[in-house]
Amino acid sequence: MKNGLRIIAVSVALCSSVAFGASNISAKKAIDGANAAYKQVAKETSYQWTVTASAIKAAKKAFDKGNFSEAEGLAAKAMKLVAATKLQAKIESETWQMRVPK
Amino acid sequence: MTIGDKAMKTIIQYLAFGLLGLSLSAATIAGPEEDRKAFQNFYENRFPDTPVNDFQNGVYSILPSAREQWQSIEEFPPYELSVEAGEKLFHSKFVNGKSLADCFGSNGAVREKYPHWDKARGMVVTMERAINECRVANAERPYRLKKGKIADVSAYMSFNSRGQKVNVVIPSDDARALAAYEDGKEHFYTKRGQLNFACADCHMYTAGALYRADTTSPGFGHATSWPVFRSKWQEMGTLHRRFGGCHKNIRATPYKAQGSEYSNLEYFVSYMSNGLEFNGPAARK
């Protein structure tokens, strides 16, 4: 009985630390990825959105508070905004001249 | 037909296609002067009741109700203190005994020279940049770029330059100048930010429309009245400060004041206003 309880306690501790570690690591990875993508889109296109910077900042704040799933969600949002920025830059590079009056 | 005739025929065909291509591209790619005429025509057609020279008054050229208010503000202009402060700064001696007057003449009435293309450095030089370059050349610290002392000095110099005409030149002997102009032009017509707006969206195609409680000003004449005292700021600011504010409004990250992006944009916007009078500093909402 005693041994059984020990095994359960150790298992729970191990599982929770693995789950905790994974969330921590994946949130960090997501934030770093969003940050790199944000800088890269500026380098490639000179386009940057303020909302992307805000999302990354909020993700970092959530990470510092230990809210890893929230941080990961915000980083994912930032990645989507980066993708939209890239798309805007691509579309605009092909269409801006249509707005020039003739 | 000999092989030589065939070859000649092929060469002639290629030449014909080449000439056709050249004439087509000449028809579709307009130069700065064609751009300017089309730009000004656009506003003249959109606001037929506004005399051309009045576009230098910004939104007040198309909004009679706000114009009255603005004219009463101009009786006791809020930029007056800035002009006075600028005068003091302009004539203050640097540590080496010189002053800004050594760079810009006794009263700094040189607005009509800016922005201009600096061939030696291959860049657009704005008046604010020139002010700071004068200070640095005399071993002084440059002013901050968007407000404060730079706006005061600019206000003084602009005030003394009132009545001068915008006359931006794009030298034909330097392809880089045309490239800078084209860069500014692309900037003006390109949508940016999460709200997906181009300068042209607000200040050209929907100029005069209400955005919340504000009417957007026409882009023609945008470059004449700077620096301005904005009621929203409750202080003076430079044109590049305003560019940055516009970009923030559409949720685009602003570029650096006096960087190439905004300097080239100023080059383009000023060229579009060629022929209008400089009337800065001014009061704006």
ipTM: 0.82
Sign of CA dihedral B15, B20, B23, B29: negative
Distance from CA of A42 to the nearest CA of B (A): 10
Question: pLDDT tens digits for B83-129?
Answer: 999 999 999 999 999 999 999 999 999 999 999 999 999 999 999 99
Residues A74-88: pLDDT tens digits? 999 999 999 999 999
pLDDT value of position A23: 82
Of residues A48, A92, A97, nearest to B191 (C-beta):
A92
Superfamily of domain B30-77+171-284: Cytochrome c-like domain (1.10.760.10)
Q: Rounded distance, CA B99 to CA B88, Å?
A: 11
Is the CB of A49 inside 8 Å of chain B's CB atoms? yes
Closest CA to B54 of B283, B221, B206, B215: B221
CB B175 within 8 A of CB B187: no
* Residue B198 C-alpha, separation from nearest chain A C-alpha, in angstroms: 9
Q: Which residue in chain B is spatially nearest to A47 when comparing CA positions?
A: B192
Half-sphere exposure of A75 (CA within 13 A, CB side): 25
- Residue in chain A closest to B37 (alpha carbons) equals A102
Of the candidates B284, B280, B285, the residue with the CA atom closest to the CA atom of residue B83 = B280
Chain A residues with CB under 8 Å of B27 CB are none
CATH for B80-160, options being 1.10.760.10, 1.10.443.10, 1.10.3720.10, 3.40.50.300: 1.10.760.10
Is the CB of residue A86 less than 8 Å away from at least one CB of chain B? no
Helices B175-189 and B260-272, interaxial angle, to 10°? 90
Q: Give A-chain residues touching B186 at CB under 8 angstroms.
A: 96
**Catalytic residues of B, which ones?**
246
Sign of CA dihedral B10, B15, B20, B24: positive
Helices (H), chain B: 3-28, 32-46, 64-75, 80-91, 101-104, 127-137, 149-160, 175-189, 199-200, 239-249, 260-272
Residue of B nearest to A99 (CA): B189
Characterize B72-90 residue by residue with b for buried, 16 or more Cβ atoms within 10 angstroms of its Cβ, and e for exposed: ebeeeebbeebbebbbebb
Nearest by CB to residue B200, choosing from A49, A53, A99, is A99
Q: Please report, for chain A, the start and end positions of each structural domain, with discontinuous segments joined by +.
A: 2-92
> Locate tokens 């400089």: which residue?
B278
* Cβ–Cβ gap A99/B205 under 8 Å: yes
Strand order in the sheet with B235-237: B235-237, B228-230, B282-284
Residues of A in contact with B205 (CB under 8 A): 99
Q: Do residues B215 and B206 make contact, with C-beta atoms less than 8 angstroms apart?
A: no
Residues of chain B positioned with their CB less than 8 A from the CB of A101? 38-39, 41-42, 204
Planar angle of CA B50, B54, B59, nearest 5 degrees: 80
Digits of tens for pLDDT over chain B (285 positions)? 455 555 555 544 554 444 444 444 444 467 999 999 999 999 999 999 999 999 999 999 999 989 999 999 999 999 999 999 999 999 999 999 999 999 999 999 999 999 999 999 999 999 999 999 999 999 999 999 999 999 999 999 999 999 999 999 999 999 999 999 999 999 999 999 999 999 999 999 999 999 988 899 999 999 999 999 999 999 999 999 999 999 999 999 999 999 999 999 999 999 999 999 999 999 998
Mean pLDDT over the full length of chain A: 86
For chain B, the domains span 30-77+171-284, 80-160
A3 reaches B (C-beta below 8 A) = no
Task: State which amino acid sits at residue B149.
Answer: K
